Every structure is written in C-alpha cells, then in structure tokens.
Structure 1
Amino acid sequence: MTSYDVIIIGSGPGGYVTAIRAAQLGLKTAIVEREHLGGICLNWGCIPTKALLRSAEILHYAEHAGDYGLVLDGTIRPDTAAVVKRSRGVANQLNTGVGFLLKKNKVDVIWGVATVTKPGEINVIPSTRSVQGPPVAAPKGAQAPGIYQAKHIIVATGARPRVLPGLEPDGKLIWTYFDAMVPAVMPKKLLVVGSGAIGIEFASFYRTMGAEVTVVEVLPQILPVEDEEIAAHARKRFEKAGIRILSSAKVVKVDKGENSLKATVETADGKTQVIEADRLISAVGVVGNIENLGLEKLGVKTDRGCVVIDGYGKTNVAGIYAIGDVAGPPMLAHKAEHEGVVCIEAIAGQHPHPLEKDKIPGCTYCTPQIASVGLTEKKAREAGYTVKVGRFPFIGNGKAIALGEPEGLVKTVFDAKTGKLLGAHLVGAEVTELIQGFVIAMNLETTEEDLMHAVFPHPTLSETMHESVLDAYGRAIHI
C-alpha cells in the first residue's frame, strides 16, 4: 500500500495549488482527480467563461468602431462554433499546464473517485462520469485506483450548480452554466434565473452576442453581495444595453415545448407574466460536493452543504481537512488557492496567518465589470462603524474618457474614527484589475492618510481610486 504525507482530493485551483505548495515544503504528495486536472474553474468555469466574454468584448468594439474613428467594411457577426472552440482551446491549454506543473513538482496524480475510509486512508475506484460526455481518460503516468494512505487528507472537491425544483437542467432547454458555455446555436431569446456573478456574466455575454435577455432575481437588488450603489449603477448599464431585469420576482412554472419554453414569473405584488424563451439558464448558486466521500461516517461536521473548518482548514476529525468551495463561501477560486496554502503551511509547521475572509476580493466580468473587497457601506454601518464614504465617477478621469469608457464609479468606505479602509467597491472598465490595489492596502492596514499621500500614475484608471479616497475626506480635485 502506497503511503504519502498528504493526499488531496480534487485538482481544482485549491487542490492543485495546495499540492504544489506541499511538494515545495518537502512533503510526499498525491492528488486524486476523477475527470479533469484544473477542476471546474479551469475547465468549465472561471477561465473558459472569460474567453467567451473576451469574444463578446471584441464583437462589441467592432460594432462600435465608428466611435473610435474607424471604418470596418463587411458583416460583423459571431460565429458560435468558433467562439466556443476558442474557449475550449483556452481551457485545454491550461489543463495541460496544470499537468506539467504537478509533474514538475513531483506530485503523483491518482486517477479515480476517492472515498475516505478512515482517517489516514482513502479508497480510489475508477471514474465513471464526466461533467460533459464520457469519462476522461487518465493522463499519462497517473497512478491506478486502489487504497492509499496519508497522514493528512485534504478535501478539495469543489461545488456544483444548485438545482431548484421545477428548474431541473435537461441539457436542452434548461441549462446549467456547463451547458451555457457550449451552445450548439445562439438562442434568440434567453431567460436567466439568478443575478449573481454567474448569471450576470452569461446575461452580458449572450446579450452582446445578440440574444434578447431577461434576468429574474428573487431579491430586490441584483448582484446581491455587492454594495447597493454599485449594483444600482450596474443595473442601469445592463438595462441600457438591452437586458431586461425583473427583481423581487421568481419563476413559479416552466412549460417546455419542443425547442422553446414558457416561464411564468411572479413578482412581489403577486402579479404574474409569461416569458417566452429559447433557453433558460439556472444560475441560482452552487452547493458543495460533500456527498459520497465517507465524511458522514467519520463524523466530519457539515453545515448547509459545506464542510465546517477553522481558519487553517482543519475539520473536527484529526487528519482531515477541507478547502475551497466545499468548505463554504465565498466560493471563489482565489479563496480556494489561498485557503489551501494556509492549510498546508500549517500542516508543515510554518505558522501562517489564518485566512481573513473579509479581505477576499470578488470580481464579476460582465460589461461593465464589477469588483469589490471588504464591507459595503450598509454592512459597515450595521457593524456599528461611523463611516466616511468617498465616490469618484469615471467621467472625471482622463484615461477613461480617452478609452471611450466614461461610465463607472469607485466607492470607498472608511472608519471615520481611525481612517481604516473598511471596503472598496468599483464598477466600470477594467476594475477587476484595479481592485488588487485596495486589497493590498487593506492587508497592509493602510489608512486614508497613506492612500492620499501615495502618488498614482497619470493618465491611468487607477487615479479614480485615489480621487475616491480624497473625496471621502473632502479633498477630491477633479469633481
């Protein structure tokens, strides 16, 4: 029986990063995967969706070439098959890259489905399923199924789309995000249920590609985890782009036809309307993959479909850990990666700082982009803070105007007593690249004085961040 110091179940961003860090720390490491290296994020989530959104962005610019003084002759239209092919190619390239990194770091790959039979031992059986299509063949050099031992077992099995009664995906008319990434044809009318990051990204992609899109959200606010002001700004932009949004509403019935459907939507006032669509995307969140791992028999504590852990990934059962989506929100790839590094460094006696979830940024890659970190203004006030709030619109920024992207907003929230940065919220062009500046500032416990004295380069979009800080203290220059 082969023994390891660490075995990680799942090779998504959390799993493979943890495995590599474990190997760097000198631990004999193996990773178990049942269908594709890189997990859902790399193969069917974060990465391929960004490739799709990039195609939509290029199409948008081409259609608006005249705004930049350019003339494009001929027909500009999306080739659905080519767009999907490019997206899958990007995912496949990175999938191969993960395999190379694991091999380079001498991490063994065990191909199959793992069950934790007892602390320190797993049983791996052959994989019989894949997210899309037949089981994926084991990569060259992978270890065969069997019984393996390890001092430490880390569960990194990720999450899957949540399914609501009446909205069960069928792969044809009702899609999960897996189906939405590989459309055979572009739907003319699309209904998206759920306005979180996944729902809004697909709504943005399909609208740019020419579909009539309606979004249904059960809560009054779209993008529910975002600051109210930022979400309201984004909603106006989405509606301006032609996306119809029904908030405080829910789908109560779906009648399927041969190649279309009719959804009955009920609003908060009790009124109903019927929406016809070619396809419906169910984007109502995800749920952790905790089943069939043997965790229940071992008494591993779970809560609302996720494994309960401490700040270092430890469960209540010695020798068993969990990281990433399966360990609860925020269900983000970068959270999984960092959580995994903290977990394995603690195992190796490195004494890392525990994960601080309030400093994890969130990004939505629609048009316009949305990014945030820390407390919203509402949450900060509810937590008892007296706050100073700064705002700066993109229309006051020279680079944004030169780019033809003058619509956007940066909002910062400070503790009025100490100057501590409590949160930052952005909507507009490239804000998913800007947010890291505020993340670093929060991790360094930067105050408003430090940020005001920092020199930001000109002309850049990042100047909006500086001006937002200045505005919180009545010192903004360009508004």
Structure 2
Amino acid sequence: MSKKIDVVVIGGGPGGTPAAMHMASKGKKVLLVEKAGKLGGACLFVGCIPSKIIKHAADEYDALRNKPAGDRPFSEDAGVFWKEIRARMDSILSMRSAGALQRLTQIPQAMMIAGSAKFTSNHEIEIEGMNGERSVYGFDHAIIATGSIPVVPPFKGDAVQDVLTTELLFKQETLPPSVVIIGGGPIGVELAQMLTKLTVKCTIIEMLETILPGVVEPEFAEELAKKLAASGIDVFTSAKVLEVNRSGGNFTTTFIDGAGGQRTVRSEKVLAAAGRMPNLKDLHLEATDIRFDRQGIAVDDYLQPGVSGIYAVGDVIHGPKFAHTATYEAYIAAVNILMGQNVQKADLSKNSWVLFSDPEIASAGYTTADALKNNHDILTGSYDYKIDATAQINRSPFGYLKFVVDKKSLAIVGIHIFAPGASSIAGEAALIVAKNMTLQDVAQTIHPHPTLTEAFGFLAMNMLMGK
C-alpha cells in the first residue's frame, strides 16, 4: 500500500541534502532516499573533498622534501605519508557525513531511508532499503539528485577490468610508484600533479589536442602544460589508447601518439580520468514522462524535466557538474517547491569553479569562446601577476587575471585567474559576474593593498583607460 509524502528527494549529496533540509525546515514533510546510506555524495567521498585533502598533504610533503636534509622534520618515505593521509581523509569524511546526518535528523519533518529508489509512475516511487525491505510512496514533489559516476572508456586488452577510477585510487592502501592517467581534463591534471609531489611517476594520455580541452582559456592550458612537463609529468596529447594489458605485476598501456607512432608505457597502475556521466541507473525513468538521454536529464530554466512537480539538480542533469552548482540548483528547486509555483530560474551562465592545479585556475562566467558563441561583441584584458606586490611577497610572481567584457555595456561577463591562490579570490570573481558588474563598478571598488584581489581594480582601470 502506498504511503504519502510531500517531497521525495533522491540522492543525499551536495544537491539533495541541502534541498531536503531547507524544505523540511520550512514545514514540508520530506523523505530523503540515499543509496549509500550516508550523506555527502561523490564530492565528499570520492571527489572534491578527498582530493583536496590529498593535495594539501602533497603540497606539504613536497615542500618539506625539498628542504635540506638537516631541516626536514620527518624521515618517512611517501608510502608512510600516504597511510597518514588516508587516515586523516577517513576521519574528515566520516565527521562531515555524520554531521550532515545529525543536522537532517534534527528536523522533525525530515526522514531518511538508506536504499535505492525507482519511479513506478510520474508521482510514485518504490524504495528498496538496504535490508531488502520494500516500500512505495506517492508524492506531490520530487527532486532527483543522484549525481554522477566515473566514465571508463571501452579499451581493449586483458586488464581493462583492473583500471582504477578516482574512487578506487583513494582507497589504495599503498602508493603506487607509477601511474598512467587516461584523460587530461581537470581530474587527470589535478591527480597527476598531487601524485607527482608524492613521488609517483605520472603519465597523462589525452585524446584531444591539449590538456583541459574546452575547459580553460587556451593560453592557460598551454602554460600549465609547460609546468606539468617541467615537474616530470609526461603528457601525450592527440593520443588514442589502444590496449591496456597486464605484464607481470605491471600494466602496459599501448597508444598512438600525436605524431601517429605507436607507444607503450609500463606502470604499476592505470587510472581512468575521462570524466563522469549522469547516474541514471535504477531510476526507471522510462516509467515516467521525464525527459532524459545519455547526457542526463533535460531540464528547463526552472530545473523541471517535463513533469509537473518534479525537479532535477546537479550532475544528473545536462550542464556543469560541480558540487557548488548542485547546491545552487537545489536552492532554486526548493524555493520553487515551497512557493507552490516556479518563481526562480537557474542562470548557469554565471557559474564559477576552481581547478586545484599548481598554479590554480579559477573561472566565473563565460570563457572567451563561450562569449563569442553567445553573440557577445567582446573586449578582453589581462593583468600579469609578476608585477603584483602580494605575488612578489609570497614568492610566487606568476600568473594572469583575464576579463571578458561586453563591449557595449562594459559588463564583465567572464573572469579567469591562473595564479597561486586563485581559489582564494574566486568568490569575488563569481560575485562580479553574478551581479553584472561593469568595468566602472570594479574600478570604483576600493580593494585593500597588498592583496591578490586588488588586481581586479587595476585591470578594470587599465581597460577603461585603454591600456
């Protein structure tokens, strides 16, 4: 017999969890269904949080390792350090997940079931709990927030089933001495740099012409590729993987390089970093009128997929796949449900993100290419951080700040930063773009000195004066 609930939220990650809390705190009776039985999603357990824990530790290890032997406060090798990293990672992830669950369960109108949900119609789901118990719920509204799963390309060879994903990499008990990373996008680049700092020999194989293809400004990708090579990372672009095989205790990855020659690289591990795909598995969307395809659920500006009362957010839909974007979309969906009608639209043209490379890259709004595709007549301008006081003080006088500006209105439609500490000023970049600020607005904002943020004012002034 079907039970009745106001709102069903499927998925307990950075989209589903805050949406459930927000609606329940406002009086809606909310059921959150999470297959893993713990809150946090891919970002917390296999994505942004564990990778940043590793990055922070790798940066520390690399800095200490490069001190004179007598000044090093430790003698452990990277393998011992890796065990400490994993222990710290497990502690932080458990603490954050438990904290989220505690906050959810303290809201009287919220309840959670550990299990998987599938649609039986447009307004009914069947839940199979982790204990095998089944239940059926009818609902007025639903938010689908099931996230994404790693993509493992269909390689040939006898070792394809042993290729790691990031999820499996973070669970490795020992640090491999060498890794071939298939994919030169954000995931591949971040992991290659942090593993290299932990003394792992890394090779990146990317099928397109450059690393970070279509992701960052081309000049940023070119400069970062030079830094990867300088750190000892072998990067092959315009390359096609043919086979992944076992050879003794190691892997052999055979590929065609950019010049058309066949190469083979031996490594202890192979990692697939070819991106992520929407997690539609087991939802049985075919039992509904929800619009979806292999790229995910297709939603309108209000985040609805064609069925009244149903919304979808985060990695499961077409569009940017970031934890913070999912949280933003969750807020939009929750507000529309609480208001009883669609009152807020999602505007993803103002999305922002950070690549935690070395140096970091942060972006908000349109890239130069995207602005042109969206029919903007644009101006661009750059500020070189080598003349920046803070960069010089921090002994990191490298990097660039770039504005993409609508020529007619002088509104800043895109900001891109490639510099150490870019993540620390990404928030201002996001705010400038989100609020449609112009060059005059930014030039007339008094930024503190010496800080990395004062570059925003300098660049705006320079562009207004035609420099």
Report the Cα offset of residue 421 of structure 1. Answer: 0.6
CA distance 1:127–1:378, change in 2 (3 Å)? same
Q: Partners in 1 of 2:318 and 2:374 — Cα distance?
A: 22
| Matching of residue 411 in structure 1 with residue 412 in structure 2 | no
Q: Partners in 1 of 2:314 and 2:159 — Cα distance?
A: 28
Residue 103 (structure 1) aligns with: 105
CA distance 1:474–1:232, change in 2 (3 Å)? farther
| Matching of residue 342 in structure 1 with residue 344 in structure 2 | no
Residue 353 (structure 1) aligns with: 344
Residue 193 (structure 1) aligns with: 182
Match for residue 43 of structure 1 among 39, 45, 49: 45
Q: How does 1:46-85 map to 2 (within 5 A)?
A: 46-65=48-67, 71-72=71-72, 75=75, 77-78=77-78, 79-85=81-87
Q: How does 1:13-24 map to 2 (within 5 A)?
A: 13-24=14-25
Residue 209 (structure 1) aligns with: 198
Q: How does 1:19-418 map to 2 (within 5 A)?
A: 19-35=20-36, 36-65=38-67, 71-72=71-72, 75=75, 77-78=77-78, 79-106=81-108, 107-127=110-130, 145-166=134-155, 173-224=162-213, 225-349=215-339, 352-418=343-409
Report the Cα offset of residue 168 of structure 1. Answer: 9.3
Counterpart amino acid of 2:179? L
Q: How does 1:449-468 map to 2 (within 5 A)?
A: 449-468=440-459
Give structure 1 stretches of 5+ with no counterpart.
129-134, 136-143
Q: Kindly indicate whether the alpha-carbon contact (under 8 Å) linking 2:444 and 2:457 is maintained by their aligned counterparts in 1.
A: no
Residue 4 (structure 1) aligns with: 5
Q: How many residues align?
A: 459
CA distance 1:118–1:266, change in 2 (3 Å)? same
Q: Once superposed, what is the RMSD of the aligned Cα atoms?
A: 2.2
Counterpart amino acid of 1:55? A
Secondary structure of 1:81's counterpart equals: helix
Secondary structure of 1:314's counterpart equals: coil
Residue 428 (structure 2) aligns with: 437
Counterpart amino acid of 2:71? V
Q: Kindly indicate whether the alpha-carbon contact (under 8 Å) linking 1:59 and 1:77 is maintained by their aligned counterparts in 2.
A: no
Secondary structure of 1:122's counterpart equals: strand
Report the Cα offset of residue 119 of structure 1. Answer: 2.5
Report the Cα offset of residue 377 of structure 1. Answer: 1.9
Counterpart amino acid of 2:426? I
Counterpart amino acid of 1:396? I
Q: Could you state the TM-score of these two structures normalised by the residue count of structure 1?
A: 0.90
Counterpart amino acid of 2:31? A
161-170 vs 342-351, which moves further: 161-170
Q: Kindly indicate whether the alpha-carbon contact (under 8 Å) linking 2:368 and 2:404 is maintained by their aligned counterparts in 1.
A: yes
Secondary structure of 1:366's counterpart equals: coil
Report the Cα offset of residue 14 of structure 1. Answer: 0.3
Q: Partners in 2 of 1:170 and 1:309 — Cα distance?
A: 38
Q: Partners in 1 of 2:280 and 2:157 — Cα distance?
A: 20
CA distance 1:346–1:441, change in 2 (3 Å)? same
Secondary structure of 1:150's counterpart equals: strand
Q: Partners in 1 of 2:326 and 2:64 — Cα distance?
A: 36
Counterpart amino acid of 1:23? A
Q: Kindly indicate whether the alpha-carbon contact (under 8 Å) linking 2:236 and 2:258 is maintained by their aligned counterparts in 1.
A: no
Q: Partners in 2 of 1:342 and 1:424 — Cα distance?
A: 24
Report the Cα offset of residue 5 of structure 1. Answer: 0.8
CA distance 1:174–1:474, change in 2 (3 Å)? farther
Report the Cα offset of residue 194 of structure 1. Answer: 0.9
Q: Could you state the TM-score of these two structures normalised by the residue count of structure 2?
A: 0.93
1:326-367 Cα offsets, whole Å, 9 max, x none, are 112201111111111111211222754311111111211122
